[in-house]
Amino acid sequence: MHDMAFLAIIWSGVFLSYFLAHKTKLTPVLYFLAFGSTMVNLGVLPAESTEFIRGFSEMGIILIMFALGFEEDTSNFIQGVKRSWGIALFGALAPFSVAYFSTYYFWSDPRLSIMCGLAMTATAVSLTMVSLKSEGLQNTPAATGIMTSAILDDIASLAAVAILVPLATGDADITALGIMWIAAKAVLFFLVITLLEIFVFPHSSPLNIYHKIPILNRFGIKHFLAFSKGEQATLAVLLIALVISLLSYQFGFHPAVGAYMAGLIIKQEYFHLFEESQSDHYLQTKKIVDNVAFSWIGPVFFVELGTKIVFDQSILVAVLPQIMILTAGILVGQIISAALAARFIGIYHWHESVLIGLGMLGRAELAFVVMDIGYVQNSIITAEAFYTLMATCFVLNVCVPVSIKLWKPYCDGSKHLKVAGVELSKRSM
């Protein structure tokens, strides 16, 4: 079947998903995943996506993450990092430990258990953020906590993959130099982002260097956005997002991390292009970016993600006990570890802490990368373990939009919940 036909099927599913989401009041992300899984198991969509669909999907997640970063305030993000290190640490250790010891109990293979632990470590932040956006919670302190924690988690997970995968496959030994190089790349990438925000993007700044070198005031992103009277502002910001995404990829991160950081450092003030202009270029650009990211390109990523869930009935039935134990363990471990870390280390309110715990449940990009390395490329992960991991990811991803939907009333104060005398929900003002 031609690539255009696959895209037509996916877009039909996206349209149907929005219709069902409207009728059921659930986030469309849930239906995107379900549609992709249904179509691949029926043989309508291929289990191995074509290069065109994979590229389209990759562009979708880049746009989604850029759009989410575009809405966030930089100062809020930095403050969130200070509060979120504990969430990232314990929110990663808990699922890794649960997955490692559970799979070791099932199959008694330490190499397999390492791969399973890595697959269950990183959070699918894009799924969570889109789910939060559908409930109007994307700009809350909890959303910032989830985003910052997930980025820190992603960095740590990538480092762990780089260190532990060669050990599990037997291709390399852990060296101090290798660990230092991974850490150095992470620091260098964020240093580049910081330099862009402080010295390159601003057209004016209170920093002394701008007074000592006045010519710097003639440059900056504002002048780039003002090209052709601001008519190409959307193209300009998308180009910046793509370039920084490619830069993050060169540093070993998923391009989505770079896209989010690009959106984060592009400020609303940069769009005040002309004093005499009555149009709001920021709102115009944001409207276009949101439409592209959340309506017709971004959803392809989630449908394509759903096509990774290909089930063999005989194996699936055989590993049902393992799926139930691993899923329950990750659910409980992830929610409790992230929520407690948010409450006592990040000093979030209880209703925000629980939301953070729920938002850390999703598993996506890195999980499938690790499974591909372990199952397809190196045959470390067995078919039984592979199906266990796939089914667990599917259940966890479904739990994200559903649990956020169910917890929203406790966040906005319309419902109240006490556990052992502790108020977990937001009190009415």
Task: Report pLDDT digits (tens) over 189-225.
Answer: 888 988 888 878 887 666 676 666 766 666 778 878 8
Residue 427's pLDDT is 61
d(Cα 28, Cα 25) in Å, to the nearest integer?
A: 9
Mean pLDDT (the chain, rounded) = 83
Left if phi > 0, otherwise alpha if psi is -120 to 50, otherwise beta: which for 220? left
Residue 110 in any domain: the answer is yes
Residue 257 in any domain: the answer is yes
Handedness of CA 131, 137, 139, 142 (dihedral sign): negative
Residue 201's pLDDT is 83
Structure confidence by residue, pLDDT tens digits, 15-27: 999 999 888 766 7
Residue 35 in any domain: the answer is yes
Residue 210's pLDDT is 66
Residue 308's pLDDT is 79
Average pLDDT over residues 224-245: 87
From the list 133, 170, 159, 179, the residue with the least C-alpha distance to 27 is: 133
Residue 428's pLDDT is 46
In the chain, % of residues over pLDDT 70: 86
H or E stretch at 419: strand 418-419
* 304 close to 57: Cβ distance less than 8 angstroms: yes
Residue 428 in any domain: the answer is no
Instruction: Give this prediction's pTM.
Output: 0.73
From the list 260, 223, 269, the residue with the least C-alpha distance to 241 is: 260
Domain membership of residue 257 as a residue range: 3-423
Handedness of CA 306, 307, 313, 316 (dihedral sign): negative
Structure confidence by residue, pLDDT tens digits, 63-110: 988 987 887 766 666 766 777 888 888 888 999 999 999 999 999 998
Residue 10 in any domain: the answer is yes
Write out the DSSP string of 285-306. Answer: HHHHHHHIIIIISHHHHHHHHH
- Residue 321 sits in a domain whose CATH number is 1.20.1530.20
d(Cα 373, Cα 55) in Å, to the nearest integer?
A: 20
Neighbours of 417 (CB within 10 A): 15
Residue 429 in any domain: the answer is no
d(Cα 305, Cα 362) in Å, to the nearest integer?
A: 12
Q: In terms of DSSP H, where are the helices of 232-382? A: 233-250, 255-265, 281-291, 298-306, 313-318, 320-344, 350-359, 365-371
Average pLDDT over residues 234-245: 92
* 346 close to 84: Cβ distance less than 8 angstroms: yes
Total domains in the fold of the chain: 1
Residue 305 in any domain: the answer is yes
Residue 275 reports pLDDT greater than 60: no
Measured at the CA of 180, the angle between CA 176 and CA 184, to 5 degrees, comes to 175
Determine phi and psi for 170, rounding to 5 degrees.
80, 10
Residue 44 reports pLDDT greater than 90: yes
* Contacts of range 245-250, beta carbons closer than 8 Å, 24 or more positions apart: 245/62, 245/66, 247/189, 247/192, 248/189
Residue 202 in any domain: the answer is yes
From the list 311, 290, 302, 295, the residue with the least C-alpha distance to 31 is: 302
Range of lowest pLDDT (9-13, 16-20, 203-207, 319-323)? 203-207
